Structure 1
């Protein structure tokens, strides 16, 4: 007599995690920036930025970044990713454009008046931003390192780098993850 074949149990998988919102990313970077042991573990280089990849919430990409005095990112965006960052030590300045730029199809844009925004983020301060947010982040101190925490969702598909001369913004380079990881 044949033996009965056991019926396999149905596989129940957990529902996919919801994509983190900009507010959730901001909460994460603020909490992480307050972790003194983590912040103090970042090796600092007197000449160039240093960074360590972190596990962000909901599959986001996160970074702990050290900024020597007088360094910055240059103008850039994070393509289709939304993001947040918080200053953990020192102070950073963010210069941003209050306009969403086209995702593609241009090399040079003339910017209208009144689009520039600037904010200083001291220790504990943070901000969130949406897709195609064009900005530059600077450590304007001449003698103090800054440290910050950044998170992006979805993980960065690319970064577009721009040059700026007055009202003219020019696309200079497109970087992919293999360029910075």
Structure 2
């Protein structure tokens, strides 16, 4: 999770959700609408050294964040512990690298990925991505001189995040983070 904490923002939760919470599409709609909120986006303090964040109230009990990305920063490879989610870029540009494969969730430390599973998307100007519960990716601000800002939402709220390292086709589970480590 981000490096510098800012108190929660009292943004009201938006429209509905089904009995099992908001869909990935609803989370993406929320992320895009929130990314268009110029006053909120400019309220995020930006740090040249590390990511900053504000916790938001997401729709239907989801977990949401406004995150600032200094030039050259990224998340590293991770998943969202079985939560579905979405994110949208509010300022600058982010690159998402993802895997088009469902990984087993337990019982492994190292996997060799097949050819053709890598995907890459460049997101700017309110563009975003929605994803299901088995999504593995990393998000990067590849700019040498411009901060990026994005909005992220997850449902159910993140139960954990698995962090991975990658060397060529080899993906290695490195650690499992729990919510108390980033809240």
> Shared fold by TM > 0.5?
yes
User: Could you say which structure has the larger radius of gyration?
Assistant: 1
Matched, 1:37 2:34: no
2:140 is aligned to: 138
CA distance in 2, matches of 1:100, 1:65: 26
Question: What's 2:3 paired with?
Answer: none
Find the aligned partners of 1:132 and 1:155 in 2 and give their Cα distance.
15
Deviations 1:87-140 (A, max 9, x none): 000000000000011111110000000000001001210110001210000000
What does 1:158-177 align with in structure 2 at a 5 Å threshold?
A: 158-177=160-179
Alignment-derived partner of residue 69 in structure 1:
71
Partner of 1:109: 111
Q: Give matches, 1:1-181, under 5 Å.
A: 18=19, 19-181=21-183
How far does residue 146 in structure 1 lie from its aligned partner after superposition?
0.1
Q: 2 CA distance for matches of 1:69 and 1:131?
A: 29
By how many angstroms is 1:17 displaced? Answer: 6.1
Cα RMSD of the aligned pairs, angstroms, is: 1.0
Is there any run of 5+ residues in structure 1 with no aligned partner, and where?
1-15
Give me the whole-angstrom Cα distance separating, in 2, the residues matched to 1:149 and 1:97: 21
Q: How many Å separate the matches in 1 of 2:69 and 2:125?
A: 13
